[in-house]
Structure 1
Amino acid sequence: MLLSIIYVIGITAEAMTGALSAGRKNMDWFGVMLVASATAIGGGSVRDIILGNYPLTWVQHPEFLLITCVAGIFTTWVAKWVVKFKGVFIRLDALGLAAFSIIGCQKGISMGLHPGICIVAAIITGVFGGLLRDLICRQAPLVLHQELYASVSLVVAGLYLGLLHFGVSDVIATVSTLIIGYLLRMASVRFKWRLPTFTLNMEGSVH
């Protein structure tokens, strides 16, 4: 129940941030809804396609698609307020990332998959919505350049599986992982934590 509530909050917040990206590219309402939906539920869709899990979540629950489309259009009317309260959306995104990662992990567990694949499913669920948004909007994927994001998803999935492995109840494991994932993501934003970057200097190469 808790994850379901956070999931709805998360896809709403993600859809609104996706709509802002569409607005920066001067897209029409269809483009806004497309980017909003891709950002919010794209990760889960990619996960289900890769794992062969059908029907897709938003096909089985069309209300999720409706929520993302409505949130996207609503954002076009209140965009200035959304930008003004950017900090709130960063916090909701952090909570959503943890929740999406746990949900992805649970999906892998329910399918009887190897723990490593469950972690991959978690990362795909948490990260690929943002990747799709940036690809559609033709911009460098933020999750690969900004503060820790995919790494947080990895930690969340690993922690969740570890707690379950040692016999911790699902409720306690879920709540604990949500809190730690949220705090880790917010700390990475606050202190600008990043993974080491790879820069290839082509100066001096033969042309």
Structure 2
Amino acid sequence: MLSIMFYVAITAEAMTAALAAGRRSMDWFGVCILACVTALGGGTARDVFLGHFPLYWVGNPYILVLVCGAALLTIATARLVYRLRWPFLLLDALGLVVFTIVGCNVAIDTGAHPIIVIVSGMVTGIVGGILRDVLCNDVPLVFRSELYATVSIVTGIVYYLGLLAGIATDLMVLVALAVGFPLRVVAIYFKWEMPKFVFDPQMRK
């Protein structure tokens, strides 16, 4: 089940990245590169800092075919995909939670410290979106919009603590999904955000 959701999430991330590339008038190669960076960037960063090799898409190159295929499909169906805003927001929320769980599992398998397990889950969940926004010359969405990284951290903590308590992995996957997915959706709907730091040296008292 987790594997299926993982591939669905990667496909959705690739398609939303393709739309972002289209808004920047990138050529087809740029569309595919941005889709790969977005869909695979988090897992790549995780594998690099954990020393987990081969990188997961190097070990399974067909993931590149899936991502690039989804990006090219988006070029052909861009107007339809653009109208499906809420379904893609929901898929993105699901992807955040799934990527977090996968990232935690990889770190656990390497024997990483509990803090690194949580960081690994967060990196897997958010770094792809950060790289997408940087390449599009935007302030990354995760730094300025509804709760995102926080949802990943909460999901990772719940998942890891459940495993430590001896709860079966499959059950903890469902529990983590039941916590993280609704939290992200509610944050989007009610626009829950972290407090923002606003500093203007020219501002007078």
Measured against the shorter chain, the TM-score band is over 0.9
1:182 is displaced (CA, Å) by: 0.5
1:204 is displaced (CA, Å) by: 5.4
- Which residues of structure 2 form unaligned runs of 5+? none
User: Aligned partners of 2:2 and 2:196: how far apart in 1?
Assistant: 33
User: Aligned partners of 1:44 and 1:37: how far apart in 2?
Assistant: 11
Residues 88/204 of structure 1: CA separation in 2 closer, same or farther (3 Å cut): closer
| Structure 1 stretches of 4+ moved >4 Å | none
Q: Which residue of 1 aligns with 2:23?
A: 24
- Whether 1:47 and 2:10 are equivalent positions in the alignment is no
Q: Which residue of 1 aligns with 2:186?
A: 187
- Which residues of structure 1 form unaligned runs of 5+? none
With normalisation by structure 2, the TM-score equals 0.98
User: Aligned partners of 1:109 and 1:37: how far apart in 2?
Assistant: 25
Does the residue aligned with 1:121 lie in a helix, a strand or coil?
helix
- Whether 1:199 and 2:195 are equivalent positions in the alignment is no
With normalisation by structure 1, the TM-score equals 0.97
- Whether 1:162 and 2:182 are equivalent positions in the alignment is no
1:166 is displaced (CA, Å) by: 1.2
User: Aligned partners of 1:77 and 1:23: how far apart in 2?
Assistant: 11
Q: Which residue of 2 aligns with 1:68?
A: 67
Q: Which residue of 2 aligns with 1:94?
A: 93
Q: Which residue of 1 aligns with 2:13?
A: 14
Which residue identity is paired with 1:38?
Answer: V
Which residue identity is paired with 2:199?
Answer: L
- After TM superposition, the structure 1 = structure 2 runs for residues 115-194 of structure 1, keeping only pairs within 5 Å, are 115-194=114-193
Q: Percent identity?
A: 44
Which residue identity is paired with 1:133?
Answer: R
Which residue identity is paired with 2:101?
Answer: I
User: Aligned partners of 2:101 and 2:81: how far apart in 1?
Assistant: 27
Across the two proteins, how many residue pairs are aligned to each other? 204
1:30 is displaced (CA, Å) by: 0.3
